Amino acid sequence: MASEFGAMALSRSERERANGHRSAVFWLTGLSGAGKTTVASGAEQLLYTMGYQVCVLDGDHLRKGLNADLGFDDADRHESMRRAGHMAEAFANTGMIVLVALISPFDRGRQYARQAVSADFYEVYVATTLDLCEARDPKGLYRKARAGEIHGFTGISSPYEVPVAPDTSIDTRGRTPSQSIDEFVQYVRSKVELGRLPRYISANNARGVGRRDAIEQ
Ligand SMILES: Nc1ncnc2c1ncn2[C@@H]1O[C@H](COP(=O)(O)OP(=O)(O)O)[C@@H](O)[C@H]1O
Ligand SMILES: [Mg+2]
């Protein structure tokens, strides 16, 4: 199929057929400490084991490279969402299930990302309370923000716009990480079904059954 650049390109649907599942972008948004990274990386491991083509774009990792030139004011936060949106689009076009874990505090930026992605796009609100995130404080950032050592910290000195109509919410309150990961994996799988899954998935859809084991059966 000819791409807009004139060359012959593999289409997304060809890759989806080969992979045995749809490609899609799942955009995890929520406060720092809500559980985006925990849920996305846990789900990546499980889905990969089940034979899905999956990757994670994590805000913290992007900040070390592609977004290293950006700060935390509103314009730079929007730019970080814009770039992540276009990266997600590129990966989704290679047939991947893309799990984006990014605070993405502004509705406008999330809407921009949805429009940048031509594959299915799901906004996933990783829900908690600010109090719980502060109590967790996995990276000690809330303590620093309260001490005035970090300026423009989401939830403390910079706004977080709670999604008005997310496609789904993963509430990480009163649940273990493993429960939240399972809940999210179930949601992802329900959205990427092609109808008929490859043999190694359909024969082994129980959690934890490895692709290699399945193929060797
Ligand atoms: N149900 C849950 N789901 C995800 N994380 C949880 C859950 N319960 C407790 N946590 C803890 O909350 C913290 C979330 O941190 P992290 O995933 O880095 O958040 P974020 O990426 O949203 O900033 C981790 O320390 C994790 O162990
Ligand atoms: Mg994170």
Cα of 118 vs centre of ligand 1, distance in Å, is 29
Residue ranges with CB less than 5 Å from ion ligand 2:
36-37
Atom 2 of ligand 1, residue of closest alpha carbon: 177
Q: Answer whether residue 209 shows pLDDT above 70.
A: no
Q: Answer whether residue 3 shows pLDDT above 90.
A: no
Backbone φ and ψ of 127, nearest 5°: -95, 135
Instruction: Provide the pLDDT confidence category of residue 213 given band limits of 50, 70 and 90.
Output: very low
- Mean pLDDT, the chain, rounded, equals 90
**Could you tell me if the CB of 41 is within 6 A of ligand 1?**
no
- What is the rounded distance in angstroms from the CA atom of residue 215 to the CA atom of residue 217? 6
pLDDT tens profile 59-114: 999 999 999 999 999 999 999 999 999 999 999 999 999 999 999 999 999 999 99
Active site residue 104: yes
Q: Which atom of ligand 1 is nearest to the CA of 60?
A: 21
pLDDT tens profile 129-144: 999 999 999 999 999 9
In this prediction the pTM is: 0.89
Domains of the chain plus CATH, in order, are: 22-198 (3.40.50.300)
pLDDT mean over 1-21 = 81
pLDDT at 16: 94
- What is the rounded distance in angstroms from the CA atom of residue 91 to the CA atom of residue 199? 24
- Contact between 99 and 43 under an 8 Å Cβ cutoff? The reply is yes
